[in-house]
Amino acid sequence: MDLRNYLNLVESQNKLLHVTRQISPLFEMANFLKKTEGIVSVFENVEGHPNFKVVGNTVSSRDLVALALGVRKEEIVLKMADAMKNRISVSEVHASAPVHQRQLKSLLELPVLWSYPKDRGRYMTASAIIAKDQETGQQNISIHRLLVLSENELVGRIVERHLFNMYQKSGEELEIAIVNGLHPAILLGASTSTEYGIDELTIASALLGEPIPVTKGKTVDVRYPAHAEIVIEAVMTSEYVDEGPFVDIAGKYDIVRKQPLIKVKAIYTRENPYYQALLSAGEDHFILMGITQEPRILNSVKNAVPEVKGVYLTRGGSSWLHGVVSIKKRAEGDGKNAILAALAGHPSMKCVIVTDHDVDIFDPIAVEHAVAMRVDWSKDVIIVPWAKGSSLDPMRDPVTKTNTKIGIDATAPLGKLDEFQLAKLKDEESFDLRKYLNDEQIDFLRTQGIIE
């Protein structure tokens, strides 16, 4: 399974748009992607880059993620948690790899988007960096924004996590492979937060249910997906240069920092390659950030209450700061324990609502309804001041750098759940409108968004 298989699958589900009119990667594509979230767009006529197609909004809805992983939307978190636990090793390809079909001379040949007007320049945003720990031989894959500086130089934001550790351990001279044009499972795997030493490609393989074929780098000692669309073999050097400003997940310009200069050794692509774009602070971005944290919350709450139904980092909370957890309540107080566990499971979370298993946690109205009906504000709120939370929280205390967290227990009193449920019409779930309509009327209701 690679990006192309996924695009075929999306097309078969009527969620793919081929854009044949000319469009520029400078500002135009970003706007286009923002206005078409929820469907995948392929730009076939890219101004200034006739040899490339650009694909964007690859995972711009939970429905698309569910499609990519072959599960229902509600099962994504379980699938992610399972893949993180039951990983599958990658397999090595010894024949020629598709990603080596063509060679490029310059980074400037890539149709890299410039998205927000005050971004420092053209940023690659859906690209993953793979590197190897020289001591253990273990690889790491993680997603980083990368600014194109020249024909053969880049600079990325390398947060002080696993890749940065490897870079420091290597004496600040680290061979890397930057891959672009990836199946959603690889993007999701690369976005997970696991412990150091776990190769996230093995999580991606488990998400796909089969080993991802990898190939050896030609100029770097790194193995990378053989079916990526583009690979940039490069070295992270000990020279530091300015990176940023750039709009990040909070939707605001991130500051300028000194980051390691990356020097390119070789660039390879497939025949007729796709370049994969991702709009920063767009749905794609929120989904990759949020979905990959939900399994941590799930595991933590599972440890505190017997049965967890669902976990969702809400869109209104930037898929990062606010969450909803649904549980099957077995004892009075389960809701409170679930709050404590959920806040611990994702330390950046500022507010969590815990509710019963009958609530559709993806529906903000259903969640608010549960809060309205099942909360007694004198008993069902836990406030935790002076905690360590997210630096993305604009209300973080500027002096102590601490945050206030809140949990709301919106579970019904034990054993009384049926008193809190809305009355249903007779056969409400199975009632089929279409039976009473002709084709024209069905089409009309479709344009109104009433029928799918």
The residues annotated with a catalytic role in the active site are 248
Q: Which residue has the tokens 């699958």?
A: 9
Query: At its nearest, how many Å lie between Mn ion and the CB of residue 144?
Result: 12
Q: Which is nearer to Mn ion, 22 or 168 (CB)?
A: 168
Task: Give residues with Cβ within 8 angstroms of 392, minimum separation 6.
Answer: 249, 250, 318, 320, 321, 348
Query: At its nearest, how many Å lie between Mn ion and the CB of residue 142?
Result: 6
Which residues form the interface with Mn ion (CB under 5 A)?
140, 162
Shortest Cβ contact with Mn ion: which residue? 162
Q: Which is nearer to Mn ion, 194 or 269 (CB)?
A: 194
- Burial group, residue 446, by CB count within 10 angstroms (0-12, 13-18, 19+): exposed
Query: At its nearest, how many Å lie between Mn ion and the CB of residue 135?
Result: 15
Q: Which is nearer to Mn ion, 204 or 371 (CB)?
A: 204
Amino acid in the structure at residue 360: D
Q: List 406's β-bridge partners, or say none.
A: 351, 383
Q: List 401's β-bridge partners, or say none.
A: none
Q: Which is nearer to Mn ion, 87 or 162 (CB)?
A: 162
Q: Which is nearer to Mn ion, 60 or 140 (CB)?
A: 140
Q: Which is nearer to Mn ion, 144 or 162 (CB)?
A: 162
Q: Which is nearer to Mn ion, 140 or 269 (CB)?
A: 140
Query: At its nearest, how many Å lie between Mn ion and the CB of residue 197?
Result: 8
59 phi, psi to nearest 5 deg: -125, 50
Query: At its nearest, how many Å lie between Mn ion and the CB of residue 141?
Result: 7
CA pair distance 123, 116, nearest whole angstrom: 10
Cα Rg of the chain (Å, integer) = 23
Query: At its nearest, how many Å lie between Mn ion and the CB of residue 12?
Result: 33
Query: At its nearest, how many Å lie between Mn ion and the CB of residue 138?
Result: 9
Please, how many CA atoms are within 13 Å of residue 439, restricted to the half-sphere of its CB? 0
